[in-house]
């Protein structure tokens, strides 16, 4: 016989859980995140219209996600073959970044100068003419970005330099926070991913208070605190009795099974099959209950 005591408080809601990385904690308030998403969604629609006009083919740009990362984290996750366009912003040192896959950017340039399609081309450094065209594409995108963000972005935002190696494109200090928008760009039947990174020090003060990043030490404390509230199933059990499958199949009403559990010994209090304490059966009002009489030392 097994009596189960289920902890009911704090039960998780139905639905898939998302992994949480305590080394890169979420530092955007809900209101901040929503405001940024609306601005970048507006930019995606505007830029998609502009790309369609430039390439003379239907293009759609959609926002995938907006995240807050350090510059080092942002650069380390970029594809190896990426063009990084650094954009100077009046009044602050960190640069904004517009990242394009080199092969797709070359395909766009080929289309803009009279080519038949905008398919990706083999990656290589830009020629001076190609670099000038890419610069113009990004300058026009910055106009859409300023329009989408309204007064959050200053008018003095312009292309400063273009790099084809992310390691040499030092747009900000490695620990500087960047607001990164990941965009899916579909040109005809070809889909690619581009990113726009804006210095957090430019936008967050205008969007309200932001929570301080959580250190790795604090993250350890948060994990422990969260685990302390996770609901567990606690079972009060007799010592197990090994039986053969044939005996289980032959069970009938009235059969008696003798468990190897001495009558004077308290029952086992277990969590996920691991004995954590010994307890005697009792009652609490009209409900069954157990009284813990001893605890087991943790093996760890």
- Model confidence pLDDT, tens digit, residues 66-75: 999 999 999 9
pLDDT of residue 238: 85
Find, among 41, 19, 38, the residue nearest to 30 by Cα. Answer: 38
Are the C-beta atoms of residues 11 and 116 closer than 8 Å to each other?
Answer: no
Q: What is the pLDDT of residues 212-270, one digit of tens each?
A: 455 556 777 878 888 888 888 888 888 888 989 988 898 899 888 888 888 888 888 88
Q: What is the pTM (predicted TM-score) of this model?
A: 0.61
Q: Where are the domains of the chain?
A: 3-15+218-295, 30-213
**What are the φ/ψ torsions at residue 255 (nearest 5 degrees)?**
-65, 150
- Round to whole Å and give the CA distance between 165 and 168: 6
Tokens of 57: 């083919």
Q: What is the pLDDT of residues 93-117, one digit of tens each?
A: 999 999 999 989 998 998 888 877 6
The correct CATH number of 3-15+218-295 out of 2.30.330.10, 3.40.50.2300, 3.40.50.2000, 2.30.180.10 is: 2.30.330.10
Band the pLDDT of 1: cuts 50, 70, 90: very low
pLDDT of residue 8: 39
Q: Residues near 101 by Cβ (< 8 Å), separated by ≥ 6?
A: 79, 81, 82, 83, 120, 192, 193, 194
Give residue for tokens 């038949």.
116
Query: pLDDT: is 167 or 99 the higher one?
Result: 99
Are the C-beta atoms of residues 86 and 95 closer than 8 Å to each other?
Answer: yes
Half-sphere exposure of 158 (CA within 13 A, CB side): 4
According to the CATH classification, is domain 30-213 in 3.40.1550.10?
yes
The 8 Å CB, 24+ separation contacts for 238-243 are: 238/1, 238/2, 238/267, 238/268, 239/268
pLDDT of residue 42: 94
- In b/e form, how buried is each residue of 227-251, taking b as 16+ CB within 10 angstroms? eeeeeeebbbbeeeeeeeeeeeeee
Q: Which helix (H) or strand (E) holds 263?
A: none
| Number of continuous H segments (helices) and E segments (strands) in the chain | 7, 11
């Amino acid at each position: 016989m097994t009596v189960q005591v289920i902890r009911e408080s704090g039960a998780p809601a139905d639905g898939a859980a998302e992994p949480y990385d305590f080394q890169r904690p979420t530092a955007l308030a809900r209101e901040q995140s929503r405001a940024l998403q609306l601005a970048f969604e507006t930019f995606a629609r505007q830029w998609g219209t502009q790309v369609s006009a430039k390439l003379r083919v239907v293009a759609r740009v959609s926002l995938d996600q907006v995240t807050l990362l350090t510059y080092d984290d942002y650069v380390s996750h970029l594809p190896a073959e990426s063009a990084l366009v650094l954009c100077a912003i009046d009044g602050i040192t960190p640069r904004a970044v517009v990242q394009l896959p080199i092969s797709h950017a070359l395909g766009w340039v080929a289309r803009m100068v009279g080519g038949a399609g905008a398919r990706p081309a083999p990656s290589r450094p830009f020629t001076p003419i190609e670099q000038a065209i890419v610069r113009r594409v990004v300058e026009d995108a910055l106009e859409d970005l300023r329009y989408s963000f309204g007064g959050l972005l200053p008018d003095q935002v312009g292309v400063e330099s273009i790099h084809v190696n992310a390691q040499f494109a030092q747009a900000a200090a490695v620990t500087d926070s960047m607001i990164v928008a990941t965009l899916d760009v579909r040109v005809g039947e070809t889909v690619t991913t581009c990113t726009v990174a804006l210095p957090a020090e430019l936008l967050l003060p205008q969007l309200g208070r932001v929570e301080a990043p959580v250190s790795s030490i604090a993250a350890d404390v948060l994990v422990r605190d969260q685990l302390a509230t996770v609901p567990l199933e606690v079972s009060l059990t007799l010592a197990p009795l090994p039986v053969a499958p044939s005996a289980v199949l032959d069970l009938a009403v009235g059969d008696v099974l003798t468990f190897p559990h001495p009558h004077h010994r308290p029952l086992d209090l277990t969590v996920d099959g691991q004995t954590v304490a010994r307890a005697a059966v009792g009652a609490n009002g009209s409900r069954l209950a157990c009284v813990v009489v001893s605890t087991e030392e943790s093996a760890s």
